[in-house]
Structures are given as C-alpha cells and as structure tokens.
C-alpha cells in the first residue's frame, strides 16, 4: 500500500488530500469536501477503483467539521480497498454527488441525506427514503432524541391482540 500512496502523492489529486490515516489495516484518505468528486473520479479512472461498496455518514457532534462522509471503494482487479472521506460543516452540509461515477451511489446518498441531512449537489433524485418528505428532523444526528420526537410522525393504529388457536 505504501507504493500506492507514493503514486497518489505524485498525482493530480495530491493538493486535495488533507490527511492519510490507517487503522486496523485499513487506509483512509481525507480530502477537502469541495474536491470529493474530482478525487473519486481520479481514483476510479486512473487507479482502477471501479466498485463503490458504500457511502456512509457520521455525526461527530463538534462545532467544526461536524459530519464525515466516507466512500468505501475497491479495485476489484488488484484486490485493494480504500476509504475516501471528507468533513463537512453543520451550517452548509453538502458535497457533490458521485452518481455519475457509480450508479449505486444514488441510494447511498439518499440514505445519508435522509438520516443526517447532508445534501448531495447534482443528485438526480435527492429525496427521503425512510422518513416522510415533510419530516423536518434527521434521526442519525446526535441531538435527535433516542426515543424519537413524540407526535412527529403519525403511527399506524395497533391491531387488537389475536386469539391463540
């Protein structure tokens, strides 16, 4: 993997890299959020990372760089896997969509949007998938109450208990 890092350091994306960190034998490249699309495009086209395994989001619940968006990508030919991540601020939680690079990003981005409220610019159909469209909260944000917000969603009526036969 060190040869791979040396190659990246000589590529066109080197100026967009904020940090490289490893944990449990996995590598994460942190990039500036405004360049996430460019970096992932280079990773796909120049380095062969042809498979997007998933996109995840997490809430760091900090004043700066509140949300982290992580893209788990793989080069199936060379059997390499890497995580590319970016940090976004709470006041404008948005990054560019990568649906044009990987069609599967459509559902992953919609899930992150629905649960954390991070917008994906140029997404072809960014709408909620779990919560109602008019729902104003994001359940995976740290300030969201564990038991939910009473009365925020109309729940279905409970069926009466059935007889045991």
Chain mean pLDDT for the chain: 90
pTM: 0.86
Instruction: Identify whether 45 is part of a domain.
Output: yes
- Banded model confidence at residue 104, pLDDT cuts 50, 70, 90: very high
Residue 94 has pLDDT above 90, yes or no: yes
Instruction: Identify whether 93 is part of a domain.
Output: yes
Q: How many residues are present in the chain?
A: 165
Structural domain including 34 reads 2-121
CATH of the domain at 51: 3.30.460.80
Into how many domains does the chain fold?
Answer: 1
Instruction: Identify whether 23 is part of a domain.
Output: yes
Give residue 137's pLDDT: 87
Instruction: Identify whether 21 is part of a domain.
Output: yes
Give residue 164's pLDDT: 78
Instruction: Identify whether 104 is part of a domain.
Output: yes
């Amino acid at each position: 993997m060190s040869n791979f890092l040396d190659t990246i350091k000589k590529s066109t994306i080197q100026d967009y890299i904020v940090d490289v960190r490893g944990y449990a034998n996995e590598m994460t490249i942190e990039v500036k959020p405004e360049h996430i699309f460019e970096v992932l495009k280079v990773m796909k086209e120049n380095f062969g990372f042809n498979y997007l395994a998933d996109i995840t989001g997490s809430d760091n619940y900090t004043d700066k760089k509140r949300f982290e968006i992580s893209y788990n990508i793989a080069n199936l030919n060379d059997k390499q896997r890497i995580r590319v991540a970016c940090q976004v601020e709470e006041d404008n939680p948005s990054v560019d969509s990568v649906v044009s690079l990987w069609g599967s990003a459509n559902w992953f981005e919609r899930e992150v949007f629905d649960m954390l409220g991070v917008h994906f610019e140029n997404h072809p159909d960014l709408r909620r998938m779990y919560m109602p469209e008019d729902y104003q909260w994001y359940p995976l944000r740290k300030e969201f109450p564990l038991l939910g917000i009473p009365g925020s969603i109309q729940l279905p009526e409970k069926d009466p208990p059935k007889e045991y036969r």
